A and B are shown apart, each in its own frame.
Chain A
Amino acid sequence: MASLPDTQTLLKAIEPFLTRRADETDVSRAGIRLLSEKTGMTERAVMAELLSRDLWPERFSRCRGAFSAQSLSRLLSARILVAGCGGLGGHVAELLARMGAGNLVLCDPDRFEESNLNRQHFCTEKTLGRLKAEACREGLLELASYMNVEAHAVALDESNLPSLLRGVDAVMDCLDSVARKKMLEHEAEKAGVPCVQGSVARNEGLALFDSSFALPFSRVYPGEVSGNLEGTAMNTHVLTVAGTATLMVSLLMRWLCMNKNDGGKLFHLDLSIPELEPLSFSV
């Protein structure tokens, strides 16, 4: 299996691609690409290895102080399924890419339409009519070409989730109905994959992640909640989806990168006030 040389040899080989400040060393994209070509390792693997030696890819250097190199290395190696690439899903995918996620599986059967322009990250006048999952994949690769991104233009259900969830470390639930979210949670539970849930309506968003109890979202909604609500009930805008997506990615990173569990908490973001309130749901 390919690996990087010892740190002293490595630094010498990529000296022109280093930026040094006090005890900090950053490696530029060109340096990472060179190491990938020389060793046959993927750029993701090179970056994960560099981070494990506290050598930071320059693109992540401004995360210093907020996250450890080890944390970012974990995110680079994780495989995350994003269920839905619309409002929440598009923002979640973009945030994950900027934070350094290495492997994403994007699932959405829909195409962008004009009414999505007010909130969906990868919906632009140029991408109208395109499959959301594919446009999202292309946008992510423009941002981070080293990423491994799969796009599946499928509606998630009990028949395709078992195979899509194989090898996945976490699911970001960005689906658009309570009933479908419950279905996803049940399938993820069967596959042993934890789910970060998010949902939005108007000026409000809800987010939760609890890996210590089975089916936390179903505990929040114990009764039957069927179908999509109609009319203006689920209308929303970019402030709500961007804020809620940020909460979701933050909850994921606290668990995946920092081993923290926000069990039993349902975060309620209300931008009409604005306030963020942690609520306790039944466990």
Chain B
Amino acid sequence: MSILIKLSTTLRDMVPGYDPETGLSVSLENGEESVTAGDLAARIGIPLEEIKIIMINSRQSELDSVVHDGDRVAYFPAVGGG
């Protein structure tokens, strides 16, 4: 099992080789049962101040929301273009 991370628009630039079709799979470290959405973002090199919307399993969440093995986490920056 692992956590599936999906990145939106400019956040994709911050993870070299990121593929939007597959997303990014991250395994929890030994002994971990969960991690916060903020810690998870930091592990893959996304600055927390760049994240404006977090969706865990398609539901809006926050940086301190808990992510479990098997969850799908999507991070969005400010998307404000018209």
Q: Which residues of A approach B to under 8 Å, CB–CB? A: 84, 86-89, 174-179, 181, 198-206, 220-221, 223, 225, 228-229, 232-236, 266, 268, 270, 272-273, 277-282
**Residue in B55, B80, B81, B82 whose CB lies within 8 Å of A279:** B55
Residue B79, interface by CB 8 Å: yes
Q: Say whether B20 contacts A280, CB under 8 Å.
A: no
Cα-based distance from A220 to B10 in the complex (angstroms): 18
- The residues of B that contact A266 with a CB separation of less than 8 Å are 60
Q: A201-B10, A223-B52 are in contact. Are A279 and B79 (CB under 8 A)?
A: no
Q: Say whether A201 contacts B79, CB under 8 Å.
A: yes
Q: Which of chain B's residues 27-69 have a Cβ closer than 8 Å to chain A? A: 52-53, 55, 58-60
Q: Say whether A279 contacts B20, CB under 8 Å.
A: no
- The residues of B that contact A270 with a CB separation of less than 8 Å are 8, 20
**Residue in A175, A202, A223, A278 whose CB lies within 8 Å of B82:** A175
Cα-based distance from A198 to B80 in the complex (angstroms): 8
- 6 further A-B contacts with Cβ under 8 Å, apart from A89-B82, A221-B53, A225-B80, are A84-B82, A176-B80, A199-B80, A203-B9, A203-B20, A228-B80
Q: Say whether A177 contacts B80, CB under 8 Å.
A: yes
Residue of B nearest to A225 (CB): B78
**Residue in B8, B55, B80 whose CB lies within 8 Å of A181:** B80
Cα-based distance from A220 to B82 in the complex (angstroms): 17
B53, B58, B80 — which one has the most chain A CB atoms within 10 A of its CB? B80
In the assembled complex, how far is the CB of residue A116 from the closest CB belonging to chain B, in whole angstroms?
12
In the assembled complex, how far is the CB of residue B15 from the closest CB belonging to chain A, in whole angstroms?
14
